[in-house]
Structure formats: C-alpha cells, structure tokens
Amino acid sequence: MTKNYNNRGDAARVAIQRDPNAFTMPKNEKGQFCKISDYYAENVFDFRTSKSIPESVRREMIEISQTGRLLTEEYAAIVATAVTEWASQRGVTHFSHWFQPLTGGSAEKHDAFLAFTEDEKPIEKLSAKQLIQGESDASSFPNGGSRTTFEARGYTVWDLTSPMFIKERGNAKILCIPTAFISYYAEALDVKTPLLRSLSRLNAEATRFLNLIGDKEVKSVMATCGAEQEYFLIDKAFYYARPDLVMTGRTLFGSLSAKNQQLSDHYFGTVTERICSFMQELDYELHRLGIPAKTRHNEVAPGQYEIAPIYREGNLAADHNQLVMALIRKIAKRHDMVAILHEKPFKGINGSGKHLNWSMSDNLGKNLLEPGHEPHQNHRFLAFLSVILEALNRHAEVLRATIATHGNDHRLGAHEAPPSIISAYLGESLTGIYEAILSGASFSPSAKQALDLGADQLAHLMRDNTDRNRTSPFAFTGNKFEFRAVGSSQPVGFPLCVLNAAVTDVLMDSNEFIEAELKKGIKIEEVLINLIRKWYGNSKRIVFNGDGYSQEWVMEAEKRSLANNRNTPKALKALKDEKATQFMVKTGVLRPQEIKTRHNVLVERYNRCREIEISTFVTMVRQFVLPSALNYKLTLAEAIKRQKEIGVDSFTEKDLIRSLTTTMDFLYDQTNNLQNLIKDLESDEERRAADIAEKLVPISENIAKLCNELEEIIPDELWTLPKYYDMLFLN
Ligand code: ADP
Ligand code: MG
C-alpha cells in the first residue's frame, strides 16, 4: 500500500484502508482496569494538596496565592525542591515556564533540572528563583510594535493559582510551570496577566456588592468558566493533500457534497469506533492532567465533534482550554487524523465555536446566577443578571472586538452561528419579570399565576422554562451565561477578561448606587428593585429573544442602534476608541498602552493570516485547479477533433469545452487580479486590513465559486485535490 499521499486517489486509498488505532485503557498491578479516579491529575503537582510540603508552608502559600502578598524565596525553595523530587521520579528531566503570549497559543522553553555541586557533581535542581521567574526575549513575540529590541527583556512570573503539570512528548517529559508574561515595566505581554487582574477586580467588587446588600458572610467571589470546544477531525492523508488546510487551517474552496448536514443525522449520532477510540484516549490524557473533561459527542456537521469540561475557576479554565486544544491536536495524530480547530474549515456546513459558559460563585459555593427559593435570593439574582445586561449594553462593541478573528468572520452571521450583533437572550419568562418590575406591575406567567417574587416561584418558573436559544451570541441558560460567539481556535482568556472587566465596571457603579440609597434610609429589597429598574431600563435594547439568524433581527437591531460590526477590521476599531475602552483602564484590567498593543497585534494578525490565505489560494489555482481543468480541456479537444475526422458532430463536448474555457479564463483573470491587488496593498496595517476585508476577501470568495464550478464539471479522476466528500465522509 502506498504511503505517499500527495494526491486525492492515493489519499483515499490510504484513508479507507486504515485500521482503527484502538486505545486500550491501562491496567493496574493486579491486572484490573484503572478507574478514572486512579489516574485523575496524576500529572499535576499542586502545592495546595502535595503531601511533601509541610502543612504550615502550604497554608502560608495558599494565603499568598489568594492575597497576592509577596512570595519569599524561602517558601519557593521548599516547593521547588518538592516538585523537582516529584517530577524526577516520574521521568521528567526538564522544566519550562509555560505562558500564553499574544500568538493565540502557548509558549515554552525547556531547561534541564541540572546543576552542579561545589565538587562538580551533577544534581537535579530547580531553584527558587527559577521557579518564580524566568526571562525571555519579548521582542520576538507579537507586541504590536510596542517593544523595540533594545528594551526587549520580558519576564515570566509563576502563577500560583494554576497548578504545575507534566507535558509528555513521545518519551520526553517536561514539568510546565504556568506563568504570566510581562515586560520590564510590568506591562502585560500575554493573555493571562490581564485575566488575573480582571478576576481579582471582579472578586473585590462582587464581594463588596454582596456585603452591601446584607450577605456579610461572603468573603470572596470567583468567576466560573466552562469552555465547550468544537472541532473537526479528518484523515491525515486528506489533510496533507490539501495545501490550504495545512497553510491556513481551512479549505479555501471546495464543492459541497450533496449530502452534508441536511438530515441532522450526525448531531448526537453514534460515535464511530475510530472516533470513540480517539475520544477515549483524549479524555484519558486530559484526566491525567486534572482537566475535568465531562461530555463528548458528535456535532451537527459531518466530521465535527465537541468536548465540554466541568466548569472551573476562570484562570484555571482558561489554562485548561489551551491544553484541551493542544491535546486534541496531538491525540488526533496518534489516530492518523488531524484536528481542525478553525472557525470555518468547510463552507456550507457548520463552523466551530467555543461556548464560553460563565457565571460567578461565592466562597460558600453559591452560584450567583442561580435563582433561589426565598425573596432576597431572587432579588439578588435579578440584580446580578441586570448588572450583566448593563455590562453587555455598555461594552458590547469591545466584547465583539475580543472575538474578532479572520476565522470567526466566516462564522458570525453565517446561517448556523450567532450574528456579529451582540445581544442577550433571557427567555420569555425572565423578560416578563423584568418588564413587570420596570413598569411596577405584577407579572403573570402563562400559568396565570401572579408572581410576587415572594415565594419560590422564580426557581420553579425557571426550571419549567429552560427554553434555549441557539441563535443568541450571549444566552442566559438557567444558571449561567453562554457567550456563544467566541471562536473555536482562540484562547478564552481575552474575551473572559473583558467580560469580567465589563461586569466589574457596572458593579462599581452599582455599589456606589447602593451605598447612596442605603444612606437615604431605603430598605435593601427596595434598593435592589431600584437597581434592577435602573440597569434593565438602560439595557433592555440588547435583550433579544427571537431568531438571531434572521434578517428581521438585523433590521430591528439597527433600529435599536446596536452595532453590527461584520468583519474583524471593523470590530477591532472599538479597541482604538479611548472612550469605549476606558472601563478596562478604570477597572485596572488593562493599561492604555496594553490595549494599544492588543489592537495592533490583532490587526497585524488579521493581515498576516489573510495574506497567507491569499498567496496559498493563488498557488493552488495555478498548481492544482487550472492544470486539472486543462487536462479535461485536452481530453475534450482530442475527442472533438477525432469525432470531426470521422464526421460525427460533438455537441456535448463543444458545449462543455466552451463553458470550461469561460470559467478557466475568468478564474485565471481573477487570480491575477488578486495577486496584483495584494502587491499594491498599503503598508499602514489598519488601512491594509480594511482593504483586505472589503475588497480582497470578496474577490477570493468569487474565485472559490469558480473553482467549485470547475470541480463540479471536471471528471472525478482528473481532480487531484481531496473533495469535501472525501474529507467529511471517508473515515
Ligand atoms: P448546557 O446543557 O446548558 O450545555 P451543561 O451543564 O451541559 O449545560 O454545561 C455546559 C457547559 O457549561 C459545561 O462546560 C459546564 O461545565 C459549564 N457550566 C455549567 N455551569 C456553569 C457555571 N455555573 N459557570 C460556568 N460554567 C458552567
Ligand atoms: Mg451548551
């Protein structure tokens, strides 16, 4: 069997004949299968639970990690020694500060656990200093022009709130230390630093809010996050035969197979043996890393899947999601597949998102977005919800900017994804309650039962009305919000951080409001009602319970003057608007320079990604599409010529060659056009981005149509690139 699959036929032969790579669950010494609890978090070192760290040190360290007090080298040395011992026993030879620069991925640099004693004896060692801080060249990471090489020093700083873990690469094992990445002037050069700031600011303001309204026993509040991850899997043979997938992560063109997702037979369908074996191994590896993978299933599109974890504290969830993405990719290869995390790998079928489930929970374990069974809880719940609505109302455009990527541009507003208009879904019942509170009237639910918010009706009502809306970018789903417009390939840290900052902003105003009202002697339940009226009254324009995919909503949203920033360059403008981003500065989550850096990095990233797409496209048209078309043309020409020699008329062949020629000429012309336009683009990155989005992307979409027309008329055997049919169905 050939292993050389650089064209469609070879690739198909390899893919069809593969034996599923079975994954076998490990057994213990007694020969019994291991249970999840046997290996859960076996590759994680957490000083909070490690038995090799003295109790007193552990308690101090926990206190330090919660309060941000300065960590002494003495304590760090104890942890460093313990983790070195722990890791060395497990075959780990190197350690690495693991961080998330603004590349969208994670970064690492390995150092051996190697030092020498005074008499030159080699020993395993990680010093306190090496644990706490590392140094790296910040100018080589995306920095939006904010770092010149002469001030390039960047530092990685140990994040005490996210446990260390072992990364396995073949036979190599590396101890990863989660770190923040900052400059000499403590400027955040990564995703984690502002996220950590936002979590602690949200904690402070939400705790203050609860204390003010009488929940005095609450000491802290954390944002909780569960990131559902969608992805595609295709056989590796097809992947490597499609330069566009390798270079850009998506198919730049491709004719949709007759059957795709119309029958809704893939969603929650039976998971095939091959895929299940992959998922089993993925869950196993995630569990060993202490990542609580919970749900797995087939998604809507053929070849599309989803994994969802049990939610965790925001920072940990963000780190976990980075590892989930990395492991999906890695384990897929073990099964001779490639995972595609792009937001829109195949046109015409569903793209992939990452539903960012978000809520807040206090130190007593109460979910603040859970309606309760007594009046105070209900008022608190409605108040928190109204705060979030107001946060969305004020900061929709900046939130939209946090999910703006070239990949997500193909998804937002397409028929299966939330639109680029940011709105919130509450459902009829909750909206009814808010409207009733706003107008001072009592609300009658459909059961014709008056709602006085006095008893536990709200909890019942919500339970009975867990209506869903898949078309909303920001949907309330019973006890949490689901930010559904986030792209599948992006780190959740940035949207999460801005969401936290937006809510913190409104909480700050709420706290002032409550204090002032209480001073006037108004009772707390009435203060809460006043607060709910204030925020809901302000923000009801962003509440939309209807079909977010419909054209009517686009028109309605315009009437409500909601922004509809359809593409990345438009959406990113919000990050340049000082008034719009002021809340991030005010809440201390990002400094003006840091916002500027992010804006520049995102614009540049958009441009570079699009440029790669365009040059890949031009090459593919010339090296694959046109040559296939030419081969067919020659076949037709030969047939016409021979038939003429024997006096047979060749109507069909002539018709085919005419339409083939027309399409080829168009394609050739448009491709040259695209190549010239890209050469002439302005060097100013923002104007360049706008031109790419407004002019070049539409042309490349046109080119894709022409390629698809050719794919549809050219004989199957002459088409050298894997088709959607192959990639989505031959596995
Ligand atoms: P749904 O049926 O709405 O999809 P699930 O319970 O299946 O709800 O949860 C979907 C995702 O939401 C999971 O990743 C889960 O961990 C997360 N999630 C559930 N509750 C919360 C919460 N309070 N805060 C953050 N995420 C949550
Ligand atoms: Mg969900």
CA 477–ligand 2 middle distance (angstroms): 8
The closest alpha carbon to 110, from 124, 123, 93, belongs to 93
Which ligand is closest in space to the CA of residue 228? 1
Q: Which atom of ligand 1 is nearest to the CA of 295?
A: 7
Concatenated DSSP letters of 136-203: EEGGGS--TT---GGG-EEEEEE-TTS-EEEEEETTEEEEEEEEEEEETT--B-BSHHHHHHHHHHHH
Phi then psi dihedrals of residue 499, to 5 deg: -60, -45
CA 475–ligand 1 middle distance (angstroms): 12
570, 452 in Cβ contact below 8 A? no
Residues with Cβ < 8 Å from 511, sequence gap 6 or more?
205, 208, 209, 212
Lowest mean pLDDT among 148-157, 192-201, 298-307, 533-542: 148-157
CA 476–ligand 1 middle distance (angstroms): 11
**Single-letter code of the amino acid located at 107:** A
Length of the chain: 731
The band of 448, judged by pLDDT with boundaries at 50, 70 and 90, is very low
Distance of CA 158 to the CA centre of its chain: 24
Please tell me the residue having the least CA distance from ligand 1 atom 6. Answer: 310
Residue with token string 């009706």: 457
Q: What are 652-701's pLDDT values in tens digits?
A: 999 999 999 999 999 999 999 999 999 999 999 999 999 999 999 999 99
Q: What is the pLDDT of residue 432?
A: 87
Which ligand is closest in space to the CA of residue 307? 1
| Alpha-carbon distances of 614 from 96, 288, 679, 703, 707, rounded to whole Å | 36, 41, 11, 11, 14
Residues with Cβ < 8 Å from 41, sequence gap 6 or more?
287, 288, 289, 290
Q: Which atom of ligand 1 is nearest to the CA of 311?
A: 16
CA angle 43, 194, 367 (to 5 degrees): 70
Q: Which atom of ligand 1 is nearest to the CA of 358?
A: 25
The closest alpha carbon to 223, from 158, 318, 309, 151, belongs to 318
CA angle 671, 674, 679 (to 5 degrees): 130
Concatenated DSSP letters of 585-636: HHTTSS-HHHHHHHHHHHHHHHHHHHHHHHHHHHHHIIIIIHHHHHHHHHHH
The band of 445, judged by pLDDT with boundaries at 50, 70 and 90, is very low
Please tell me the residue having the least CA distance from ligand 1 atom 19. Answer: 311
CA distance 164 to 158: 10
80, 128 in Cβ contact below 8 A? yes
Counting ligand 1 atoms within 8 A of each CB, the residue from 202, 357, 367 with the most, and so the one to mutate, is: 357
Which ligand is closest in space to the CA of residue 472? 2
Asked if the model's pLDDT at residue 613 lies above 90, the reply is yes
CA 66–ligand 1 middle distance (angstroms): 25
Distance of CA 577 to the CA centre of its chain: 24
Strand 354-362 and strand 337-340: the pairing is unpaired
The band of 413, judged by pLDDT with boundaries at 50, 70 and 90, is confident
Q: Which atom of ligand 1 is nearest to the CA of 357?
A: 26
Burial class (CB in 10 A: 0-12, 13-18, 19+), 619: middle
Q: Which atom of ligand 1 is nearest to the CA of 367?
A: 23
The closest alpha carbon to 383, from 394, 372, 399, belongs to 372
Please tell me the residue having the least CA distance from ligand 1 atom 2. Answer: 477
Asked if the model's pLDDT at residue 279 lies above 50, the reply is yes
Angle between helices 651-679 and 626-645 (to 10 degrees): 150
CA 483–ligand 1 middle distance (angstroms): 11
CA 255–ligand 2 middle distance (angstroms): 30
Asked if the model's pLDDT at residue 576 lies above 80, the reply is yes
Please tell me the residue having the least CA distance from ligand 1 atom 8. Answer: 477
Q: What average pLDDT is seen over the chain?
A: 92
Bridge partner list, 367: 361
Pocket of ligand 1 from Cβ distances under 6 Å: 224-226, 228, 295, 308-311, 357-359, 367, 477, 479-480
CA 356–ligand 1 middle distance (angstroms): 9
Concatenated DSSP letters of 531-580: HHHHHHHHHGGGB--S-TTSHHHHHHHHHTT--B--SHHHHHGGGG-HHH
Q: What are 628-642's pLDDT values in tens digits?
A: 999 999 999 999 999
In the chain, the N- to C-terminal Cα span, in Å, equals 17
CA distance 448 to 375: 20
With helix as H, strand as E and coil as C, how does 657-721 read?
Answer: HHHHHHHHHHHHHHHHHHHHHHHCCCCCHHHHHHHHHHHHHHHHHHHHHHHHHHHHHCCHHHCCC
Please tell me the residue having the least CA distance from ligand 1 atom 13. Answer: 226
The closest alpha carbon to 199, from 292, 353, 317, belongs to 317
CA 272–ligand 2 middle distance (angstroms): 23
Q: Which atom of ligand 1 is nearest to the CA of 308?
A: 14
SS3 content of the chain, % helix, strand, coil (to 5): 50, 15, 35
CA 558–ligand 2 middle distance (angstroms): 28
**Single-letter code of the amino acid located at 22:** A
Q: What are 137-175's pLDDT values in tens digits?
A: 777 888 777 666 556 788 999 999 999 999 999 899 999
The band of 455, judged by pLDDT with boundaries at 50, 70 and 90, is very low
For residue 128, how many other CB atoms are within 10 A of its CB? 18
Average pLDDT of span 215-235: 97
CA 355–ligand 2 middle distance (angstroms): 7
Q: What are 374-401's pLDDT values in tens digits?
A: 777 889 999 999 999 999 999 999 999 9
Q: What is the pLDDT of residue 69?
A: 84
Q: What is the pLDDT of residue 452?
A: 53
Asked if the model's pLDDT at residue 406 lies above 50, the reply is yes
CA distance 403 to 395: 13
CA distance 342 to 230: 9
Q: Which atom of ligand 1 is nearest to the CA of 482?
A: 12
The band of 446, judged by pLDDT with boundaries at 50, 70 and 90, is very low
CA distance 52 to 80: 11
CA 477–ligand 1 middle distance (angstroms): 9
Phi then psi dihedrals of residue 27, to 5 deg: -115, 155
The band of 2, judged by pLDDT with boundaries at 50, 70 and 90, is very low
DSSP 486: S
pTM of this structure = 0.95
Asked if the model's pLDDT at residue 450 lies above 50, the reply is no
Phi then psi dihedrals of residue 361, to 5 deg: -140, 140
Residue 493 or 139, more confident: 493
Counting ligand 1 atoms within 8 A of each CB, the residue from 480, 483, 503 with the most, and so the one to mutate, is: 480
Which ligand is closest in space to the CA of residue 484? 2
Please tell me the residue having the least CA distance from ligand 1 atom 11. Answer: 226
CA distance 224 to 230: 20
Q: What is the pLDDT of residue 31?
A: 95
CA 425–ligand 2 middle distance (angstroms): 14
Which ligand is closest in space to the CA of residue 356? 1
CA 313–ligand 1 middle distance (angstroms): 13
Residue 257 or 129, more confident: 129
Q: What is the pLDDT of residue 419?
A: 81
Q: What are 239-278's pLDDT values in tens digits?
A: 999 999 999 999 999 998 888 888 777 888 889 999 999 9
Q: What are 498-552's pLDDT values in tens digits?
A: 999 999 999 999 999 999 999 999 999 999 999 999 999 999 999 999 988 888 9
Bridge partner list, 136: 154
CA distance 714 to 390: 55
Please tell me the residue having the least CA distance from ligand 1 atom 14. Answer: 226
Q: Which two tokens stand for residue 6?
A: 């650089």
Lowest mean pLDDT among 9-18, 140-149, 422-431, 617-626: 140-149
296, 305 in Cβ contact below 8 A? yes
CA distance 503 to 508: 9
Counting ligand 1 atoms within 8 A of each CB, the residue from 228, 311, 370 with the most, and so the one to mutate, is: 311
Q: What are 319-363's pLDDT values in tens digits?
A: 999 999 999 999 999 999 999 999 999 999 999 999 999 999 999
Q: What is the pLDDT of residue 148?
A: 60
Which ligand is closest in space to the CA of residue 355? 2
Assign 649 to helix, strand or coil: coil
Q: Which two tokens stand for residue 515?
A: 């204090």
Distance of CA 476 to the CA centre of its chain: 19
Q: Which atom of ligand 1 is nearest to the CA of 309?
A: 14
Please tell me the residue having the least CA distance from ligand 1 atom 3. Answer: 477
Asked if the model's pLDDT at residue 466 lies above 90, the reply is no
Residue 467 or 538, more confident: 538
423, 542 in Cβ contact below 8 A? yes
DSSP E strands: which ranges in 352-506?
354-362, 424-425, 474-476, 481-483
Asked if the model's pLDDT at residue 459 lies above 70, the reply is no
Residue 20 or 704, more confident: 704
Give the rounded percent of residues in the chain with a pLDDT score beyond 70. Answer: 94
CA distance 252 to 53: 54
444, 451 in Cβ contact below 8 A? yes
Most confident range, picked from 58-62, 144-148, 404-408, 441-445: 404-408
